[in-house]
A and B are shown apart, each in its own frame.
Chain A
Amino acid sequence: MMDNDLTQYLDYALIAMLLAVGFAIVRLRNLFAVVMLTGVYSLLSAAWFVSLDAVDVAFTEAAVGAGISTVLMLGAMLLTARESEPAGQKRHWAALAVVAAAGAALFFAIPDMPVYGDPNSPANAYVGMDYMDRTPNEIGVPNVVTAVLASYRGYDTFGETVVIFTAALGVMLLLGFGTGRREDEEEDEA
């Protein structure tokens, strides 16, 4: 149990850092710093996922959240301003009430959540254990996450691949192919 206690403090430290970075993102006006801090936020959450033993999720979060999306946000920032407009001094009491109510509801729900690592929790009891039992006999792949992702749920992963393809299609239709030429401008000049 001593070991368990120590990782608990690591979790607290990481969540405190996530909070601090979140407040910094809200307060800052320099968009370059905000983009960099969102990358830091993703990397911190990836570290937290590792501490929760969700290494596959942590890997994706580090690669996508801290890597690619930071670069894409930088590219988007270069298309707009470097500084954000200062927010108005007006207090939005209705928004504060909604946030406070949602936060109170979340705190109210905390006692109903299963304890971390509880063998009787829904995630560990039903279909998850079934996959753990079946994968060595049916797929023969050591990483059960890969077996579920690519084989048992291969149809869903196919859908996700198509979604990613569609996202690129949408971006290219809106922003162009990025060949360096501005086809529309050339046509306008001609």
Chain B
Amino acid sequence: MSPHLILRVVSKLLIPMIVVFGFYVQFHGDFGPGGGFQAGVIVAAAVILYALIFGMEEARKAIPPVVARIGAATGVLLYAGVGVATLFMNGAGEPLNFLDYDALHPDQGHHTGQHYGILLVELGVLCTVASVMLAIFYAFAGRVPDIRDEDW
């Protein structure tokens, strides 16, 4: 019988809901409070909860630290990539502006370019923040053995 049976069962139920809530915060950020930063922290918190309950080894098997490292760089590159893409997508004679989302889509009446741009940069923020929080947690937790019960 594994220790902390109740914690394990409850967190197994909770972790998917935490991740879904994180994505809700991400994609509902245009309409209510939230956005990439908060969503990234929430998604990272789900993985950290998994690591606290099931141990570092299991968490490293689920999300290897190399994924966190690559994700942190990917998010920054996605954000910067949107900026560079807007530089190149502007028509002739228009001003070249870094992160000028209107250049992403010709439909100016419905601000489609703005919506695409905000969606993409928020995805970059989500990717970087979730990966960075996880990488920092791995860096701290990787230096000590798992928390024993008598530590609490």
List A residues at the B interface (Cβ < 8 Å): 32, 55-56, 58-60, 63-64, 67-68, 71-72, 74-76, 78-79, 82, 138-143, 145-147, 149-151, 154-155, 157-158, 161-162, 164-165, 167-168, 171-172, 174-180
Contact = CB atoms under 8 A, between A and B. Distances in A.
A150 B83 contact: no
A161 B128 contact: yes
B118 A175 contact: no
Nearest to B51: A71
A75 B145 CA distance: 11
A68 B114 contact: no
B40 to A, nearest CB: 9
Contact of A168 (B31, B37, B114, B136): B136
Given A143-B31, A157-B121, A60 B38 contact: yes
Contacts, number: 168
A158 B110 contact: no
A49 to B, nearest CB: 11
B135 interface: yes
A149 B35 contact: yes
A165 B35 contact: no
A82 B136 CA distance: 21
Interface string B88-122: 00000000001101000000001100110110011
A68 B41 contact: yes
Contact of A56 (B34, B44, B52): B34
B150 to A, nearest CB: 10
Interface of A is mostly: helix
Interface of B is mostly: helix
Contacts of B124: 161
A175 B139 contact: yes
B79 interface: yes
Interface string B125-152: 1001101110111111111100100011
By size class, the interface of chain B is: 35 or more
Contact of A138 (B56, B111, B118, B131): B111
Interface in B48-106: 48, 52, 56-57, 60, 65-66, 69, 72-73, 75-76, 79-80, 83, 98-99, 101
9 contacts: A63-B45, A74-B147, A146-B122, A147-B118, A165-B75, A168-B72, A172-B135, A175-B139, A178-B138
Contact of A75 (B118, B141, B152): B141
Given A146-B118, A164-B128, A164-B129, A177 B69 contact: yes
A162 B72 CA distance: 9
B114 A165 contact: no
A168 B60 CA distance: 17
Given A71-B48, A161-B75, A172-B69, A143 B29 contact: yes
